Structures are given as structure tokens and as C-alpha cells.
Amino acid sequence: MEISNQRSLNAIEGVSNRDTFQDTALGLVSTRSFPAIVGTADMMLKSAGVHLVGYEKIGGGYCTAIVRGGIADVRLAVESGVQTAEQFGQLVSSLVIPRPYPNLDIVLPITTRFTKLMEDGNYSRLSNQAIGLVETRGFPAMVGACDAMLKAADVHLAAYEKIGGGLCTAIIRGSVANVAVAVEAGMFEAERIGELNAVMVIPRPLDEMEQTLPLASCWIEEREPLNLPVNIKEQVAEIEVLRLPDLTKLPTKIAEELWNDE
């Protein structure tokens, strides 16, 4: 009986897994710039009800944004992403797979996994701030752009990303106005030192965008647990309680003595 019940449960789970795969689709948009792929992913998230799985970087500057969701949502998101990448002049290719086979999900990094920077009680002090990205060809140009951006406005250097082909991207965080001013200063400095490849400013990043962007460890804080006594009753019992004297036991002749003194 137990064996037959277990087989029934396995059959039900298999059907539910197949239904899950049938209801989802896979969308990919590829560019040759990290700022371009971040801006493309931001537009994909805001145009349809999809989830951002992450980015796949294969070198040579090629980056791919991967989203999952309903078939109609993924088609709409990929269409918006393609238009955005074309506006940047960085579109390489795009793809929509309505019902990816389970084996494809297991082998390739296209499952519904998410990079959670705030897991295990960790969180970022730079969350919910605007994002600025300046991409250069050559490391010295990126370092010079970082220095210029930090000196031009009240922003923080969150991290930097390398995608091959000599392309490096500095990622800054701050208010929308400060990020815009800083990115402009970084552009001029990068062009003076070397080659500027792409820039991007994202005023209001979504939570899933936050979780997929690189972040330096200095901006990740660990939430400290609140240490409470193991047994509060025992500790309270050990505390000495200051008790007031019993007024009924005071000498009764105090009033008479006070009267005689007057």
C-alpha cells in the first residue's frame, strides 16, 4: 500500500512539474555591452510580468539577459528588450522558447534561480538608489572615470564588471541627480584617457535588478541577531527587589513627638 501511494505521489509531482514547464517561457536578449544589457533587462522587467534570472557573460563583450514567465509576457518583454538594445546600437540576437524542455533547464543556467545579495540576513546599504554605469575599453580609462565621478557628485562606487574584449564597467549608486552628474563627468574623463564604449542611468531599479547586479562586499552588511536571555524568569528572580517599609509597623508615637516639638 505504501509503495502504491508513493508512486501516486511521484506521478502527481511529475504532472505538476510538466504543467509548470508548459506554462512558462524562456526569453533571451544579447548585446555587446554591459550597460546596454542592464538597461535592456530593466526595460524587459518594466514592460511585462517576467522574472529576471540573471546575466550570462561569455567573453568578447557578449552579455545575455535571461528572463522567465508566461509565454505572452516573455514575448512582450523580449520585444521591448530588442527595441531598447537597438536604440543603444548594441543588439546581437534574441530568442523566445515557449516551453523549454526540462533537460535544457537543468544543464544551462536558465532556470528560475536568482542571485540574492540579501540572503542569509545580508542586505545592501545602496539598495533603492539610482544606478549609473560607465563602460570603457581599457582598465585605466575606467579607473579615471571612477575617480572623476566620485569627485563630481555625492555617489558611491558599488562595483565594477569585466566582460572581456577589454570592456570594463564602473557601477555607481546615489540619487538620480547625483548619478546623472557623475556619469557625465565620467564620460568626459574616460574619453580623455582612452575609449568610452557605453553609459547608462537607471533612476528607479526594481528589486530583481538589485539582486542581479554585482556589489562590492564593503556595501553588504550582515544583520546581527537580537540576543535575548534564554530564560527570562530565572534572571528576573535573581534581581534583588527593593521593598518599601510597611507603614503599619512604624512607631505610633511619631505624631505625639512632632506635636510636642511644635
* Whole-number pLDDT of residue 209: 82
* Whole-number pLDDT of residue 123: 57
Contact 122, 222 (CB under 8 A): yes
Q: In which element (H, E) is residue 139 found?
A: helix 139-152
* Whole-number pLDDT of residue 102: 79
Q: Enumerate the H helices of 48-70 as residue ranges.
A: none
Q: Tens of pLDDT along 204-222?
A: 888 778 778 877 666 555 5
Residue 2: pLDDT band (50, 70, 90) is: very low
How do the domains of the chain map onto residue ranges? 25-107, 130-219
Q: Taking residues 169-196, report their average pLDDT.
A: 94
Contact 170, 133 (CB under 8 A): yes
3-state secondary structure 12-47: HHHHHHHHHHHHCEEEEEEECCHHHHHHHHHHHHHH
Write the CATH number of the domain with boundaries 130-219: 3.30.70.1710
* Whole-number pLDDT of residue 125: 66
* Whole-number pLDDT of residue 216: 64
Q: Tens of pLDDT along 68-98?
A: 999 999 999 999 999 999 998 999 999 999 9
Q: In which element (H, E) is residue 168 found?
A: strand 167-174
β-bridge partners, 257: none
Q: What's this model's pTM, rounded to 2 decimal places?
A: 0.70
The residue among 212, 170, 216, 196 whose CA lies nearest residue 41 is 212
Residue 4: pLDDT band (50, 70, 90) is: very low
DSSP 3-state of 158:
strand
Q: What angle do CA 108, 94, 33 make, to 5 degrees?
A: 90
Write the CATH number of the domain with boundaries 25-107: 3.30.70.1710
Q: Which cell numbers hold the place of 42?
A: 530593466
Min mean pLDDT across 155-164, 197-206, 238-247 is at 238-247
Q: Taking residues 146-163, report their average pLDDT.
A: 92
Q: Other C-beta atoms within 10 Å of 62: how many?
A: 19
Q: Tens of pLDDT along 29-41?
A: 999 999 999 999 9
* Whole-number pLDDT of residue 136: 95
